[in-house]
């Protein structure tokens, strides 16, 4: 059974948890110009796959997202960021560096590539083949080895296989991990 949840539903579930800001960057298949290489654009990487590429203006915008998130935190806001680090692990490291002064939970969301392909096809608003290519860049996935980053000590606080859990269970896992991390940090400080 394939489970998926639209971004709007995820946001609504998360909004019920706590007052916070929710930041999301979403690239749908028809929303990007393939010719304007200053911004985000699609690039064919194989006959069956495309990936989202980042030009200099898009990279500057992404860095602005990181910095504005820090600004929101400095102002006392609670923030949830939904970001696909589609340029690779350096982006995740950039987030970790920027957010290191703040209580932060990094969650990696994965599923087997075969499920990813099916979900992408069912959505209809995604560039066919882009999910698998991006998963390879973001999570180091190759074929069915979608747990590659679990072996990378320290990148994510929590890895969730969204094929094994329904959306509510995913949210519960995030809440439990956040509470556990907060409790551990509080215990270490006292």
Q: What is the pLDDT of residues 37-67, one digit of tens each?
A: 777 777 777 776 667 777 888 888 889 999 9
Is 2 inside any structural domain? no
Name the percent of the chain lying above pLDDT 90.
15
> pTM (2 decimals)?
0.69
1 belongs to a structural domain: no
The tally of CA atoms less than 13 A away on the side-chain side of residue 1 is: 4
CA distance 9 to 182: 26
Q: What is the pLDDT of residue 69?
A: 93
| Structural domain span for residue 113 | 7-189
pLDDT of residue 182: 77
Write out the two tokens for 115: 């499920």
Query: Which portions of the chain are predicted below pLDDT 70?
Result: 1-36, 48-50, 139-154, 190
Taking only the tens place, the pLDDT of each residue in 13-34 is 554 554 444 454 555 445 555 5
- CATH code (residue 39): 3.40.50.300
CB atoms within 10 A of CB 19: 7
Orientation of helix 7-15 relative to helix 167-189, angle to 10°: 40
Tally of domains within the chain: 1
Q: Say if 159 falls within a structural domain.
A: yes
Check residue 181 and give its pLDDT.
Answer: 82
CA distance 94 to 74: 17
């Amino acid at each position: 059974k394939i489970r998926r949840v639209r971004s709007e539903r995820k946001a609504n579930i998360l909004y019920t948890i706590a007052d916070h800001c929710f930041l999301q960057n979403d690239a749908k298949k028809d929303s990007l110009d393939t010719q304007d290489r200053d911004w985000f654009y699609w690039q064919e990487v194989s006959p069956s796959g495309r990936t989202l590429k980042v030009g200099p203006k898009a990279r500057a915008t992404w860095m602005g997202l990181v910095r504005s998130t820090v600004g929101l935190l400095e102002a006392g806001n609670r923030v949830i960021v939904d970001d696909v680090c589609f340029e690779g692990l350096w982006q995740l490291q950039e987030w970790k560096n920027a957010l290191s002064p703040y209580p932060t939970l990094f969650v990696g969301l994965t599923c087997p590539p075969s499920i990813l392909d099916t979900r992408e096809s069912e959505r209809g608003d995604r560039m066919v083949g882009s999910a698998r290519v991006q998963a390879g860049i973001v999570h180091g996935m190759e074929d069915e080895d979608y747990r590659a980053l679990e072996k990378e000590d320290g990148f994510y606080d929590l890895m969730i296989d969204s094929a094994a859990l329904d959306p509510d269970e995913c949210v519960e896992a995030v809440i439990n991990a956040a509470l556990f991390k907060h409790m551990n940090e509080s215990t270490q400080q006292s």
